[in-house]
Structure 1
């Protein structure tokens, strides 16, 4: 269930789901004007600081990490409620967008691949 174990066609569906869901949500919510962005970023910062010491030693599918990823998902839901595919798409976006990768990897050099696997596992086990 890690991101590398998913088929390329499924990953493309995930990218498309993210794009479609975010585009629809942005249009429906005036570019997410209702979201307290400074609070969201502060909450993600606190979460990533809790998670970064675990990246090198924890299993992305462990209960401890999946509990932290549930918090990540809850923060993401302040914008809109992503489907399982869109949430995997978000993990792919973290990997494929240079700015997002740099932002996340600033917490730990392996944060992006770790998040990708943890988010993929969470999507497959908790969002179906």
Structure 2
């Protein structure tokens, strides 16, 4: 089951959770001043370079991809620790925000779709 299989109501709740949690975190941390943003960007880049070859070769819910998604969640958690819904909302944001979609798809043309399903599988299997 992928992110596209979730109900519209669930997806809206996830979008709202991400927005609410990020806004709260940004306010509480002076716009994530605790994060070494240059290092975070370098780590995201390294992560996507490892994930990209798996797009189309592994299922998003495969053990190999899901092990990588634990790293993805850890990277996201440097900024704030997203709830299950907020993490799914992040996957939606990657596809719905043109700049984020373009950025992610530079690593692989189907990265955003794959990542959305991988985020969804990770959230449903690992986050309460």
TM range (shorter): over 0.9
**In the alignment, does 2:30 pair up with 1:30?**
yes
SS of structure 2 residue aligned to 1:10: helix
Which structure 2 residue ranges, 5 or more long, are not aligned? none
Q: Compute the TM-score of the two structures, normalised by the length of structure 1.
A: 0.99
SS of structure 1 residue aligned to 2:107: coil
Distance 1:100 1:65 in 2: 21
Cross-structure match for 1:123: 123
Deviations 1:65-110 (A, max 9, x none): 0001110000000000000000000000000000000000000000
CA RMSD across the alignment: 0.5
Q: Compute the TM-score of the two structures, normalised by the length of structure 2.
A: 0.99
Which structure 1 residue ranges, 5 or more long, are not aligned? none
**C-alpha deviation, 1:57, in angstroms:** 1.1
Cross-structure match for 1:40: 40
Deviations 1:10-29 (A, max 9, x none): 00000000000000000000
Alignment of 1:83-98 (within 5 A): 83-98=83-98
> Deviating runs (4+, > 4 A) in structure 1?
none
| Number of aligned residues | 128
